Amino acid sequence: MLVRLGLVEQRHKAVLEVLGGAPITDVARRYGVTRQTVHSWLNRYGGKGLAGLVSHSSRPASCPHQMRPEVIARVLEMRRAHSGWGPRTIRHHLAREGTVPLPGRSSIYRCLVRHHLIDPQKRRRRREDYRRWERSRSMELWQMDIMGGVRLTDGSELQIVTGLDDHSRFCICAHLVARATARPVCEALAGALRRHGVPEQILSDNGKVFTGRFGLGKGEVLFDRICRENGIRHLLTAPRSPTTTGKVERFHKTVRKEFLAGRVFASCEEAQAELDKWVESYNHTRPHQGIGMVFPASRFAATAPGDFEPFLSEEADDRAQESIGTAGVRTRRKVSSNGRIRLVGKNYAVGRFLAGEMVEVEIARDGLVNVYHRGVLVATTARHHPIEGEAAALRRRPRGTGAQVRTGGKPVLRLVDARGSVSFAGAMYRAGNPYASKQVEVRLVKDRVEIWLENKLIRTHLARHDKDKEHGAFGVPGGRPPKKKAS
């Protein structure tokens, strides 16, 4: 007759067999358990008797590192008040509040899951899935773009011209415009240049306000011209590749979530004032996860360059309007691939050797059209365009600044390095990437450092070098002599 023994009875029988002298290995084999399990039964029987053989939870009686109830309550409060905060951000704010002991990121995540504030089914990207790419220092690259979605009470919508420093994530530009056309966008760029200086490169998409790459015209747009005249290299993304400007696109998501969500403004001025306050908080008080939970201003200020005096095309445009349409006025044109320029609806041959270059066109009083390249007359031809359309055509494309008059100062020759900068009196002054490996003249005029190339002023800076080192700089006016190669 078979008798069904309970679990406790089986364990008790096994313990009695061992105590009766049976080998533990044989007992473990007969009962289908391991030797360690039999030893555990013996220890529990010896300590508590038959009650020790009853099944119980393996959970420890205490957990010293378990979050205290008040910490759990604070975590849940933060999450409910800021639905966009994840475990890492919540842990950062707990550390700022002085919470001790500070819970780990995974502990906070499990706490939020238990209280149904995070969906555990939603896939969490692993840290190795992220591919981080950024420039090594500030002012090396700016990312610029345009976003919409700023609503006014009258039903209209504004757009924001945004700019972000690639290294520090510092917001260098957040300017509201009614329409993101060329002039407002370039005014926003000019304001950023005045406030923060001139970067080495600017990255943007292929919008018509940024480039004429896919436009109907073949000439450069105003944004490109400002970049060229300030020595900035303008980089463009590949078509349909928004991830290339991923940092400024992610900044747009933050703006929509933390600033624009459900807000309607009475006027553009009010919206701009509120946006400026938010940007100030973003740059100086809001920790950024992408840069190690520090403020963007702390990384931007650490390596930001000194003062710059940017060349802005709109200043030259205003001066040009005074004499448009009169003889002797020069305008600028870009030479096409076949060596021609377009003026008042007519083509003028310049030469294929100048393809892609910018030239200055002068309409002389004697009916001739003179073409200059870097101050040198390269072509002269008879005027064969209609005179009545001359003034209107010149207004559409105002002339450049032309050669400027020297303002004095003792010249010192310097070679522009591969990064577009020159060394003077122990300090680096930027000339621009287009002038790399070229020899320029550096002049000190009062408190400004001027950089000249071929009798043309290309850049002006406020002097920021050590005055005691000026004697050594002027003592070697021709620059450091080249090293002799070993024979």
Spatial distance between the Cα atoms of 354 and 433, rounded to a whole number of angstroms:
20
Residue 274: what pLDDT? 95
Q: Based on the structure, what is the number of domains in the chain?
A: 5
Look at residues 303, 323, 345 and tell me which one is the last residue of a structural domain: 303
Which CATH number do you get for residue 87?
1.10.10
| CA 229 from centroid of its chain's CA atoms | 22
| 225 lies in the same domain as 370 | no
> For residue 91, is it within any domain?
yes
> For residue 182, is it within any domain?
yes
Residue 392: what pLDDT? 58
- Token digits for 235? 């980089």
> For residue 368, is it within any domain?
yes
| 231 lies in the same domain as 272 | yes
Q: Taking the chain, what is the end-to-end CA distance rounded to the nearest angstrom?
A: 109
DSSP string, 38-104: HHHHHHHHHHHGGGGGS----S-S--TTSPPHHHHHHHHHHHHH-TT--HHHHHHHHHHTT-SSPPP
- Token digits for 478? 């021709």
> For residue 129, is it within any domain?
no
Look at residues 252, 273, 303 and tell me which one is the last residue of a structural domain: 303
Residue located via tokens 């072509």 = 379
| 21 lies in the same domain as 44 | yes
| 206 lies in the same domain as 151 | yes
Which residue ranges in the chain fall short of pLDDT 50? 1, 303-308, 313-327, 397-408, 487
How many helices and strands, by DSSP H and E, does the chain display?
A: 14, 17
> For residue 482, is it within any domain?
no
Spatial distance between the Cα atoms of 321 and 157, rounded to a whole number of angstroms:
33
| 262 lies in the same domain as 146 | yes
| 274 lies in the same domain as 192 | yes
Residue 128: what pLDDT? 60
Contact yes or no for 331/360 (Cβ under 8 A): yes
Look at residues 358, 373, 396 and tell me which one is the last residue of a structural domain: 396
Residue located via tokens 């190339």 = 453
Residue 475: what pLDDT? 72
> For residue 401, is it within any domain?
no
> For residue 135, is it within any domain?
no
| 424 lies in the same domain as 465 | yes
pLDDT digits (tens, 9 = 90+) for 288-345: 888 888 889 988 865 444 444 555 544 434 333 333 334 456 677 878 878 888 887 7
| 257 lies in the same domain as 169 | yes
pTM of the prediction? 0.53
| 462 lies in the same domain as 323 | no
Question: Which range of residues forms the domain containing residue 112?
Answer: 69-121
Neighbours of 257 (CB within 10 A): 11
Contact yes or no for 88/105 (Cβ under 8 A): yes
| 377 lies in the same domain as 343 | yes
| 319 lies in the same domain as 438 | no
| 277 lies in the same domain as 187 | yes
> For residue 133, is it within any domain?
no
Residue 308: what pLDDT? 47
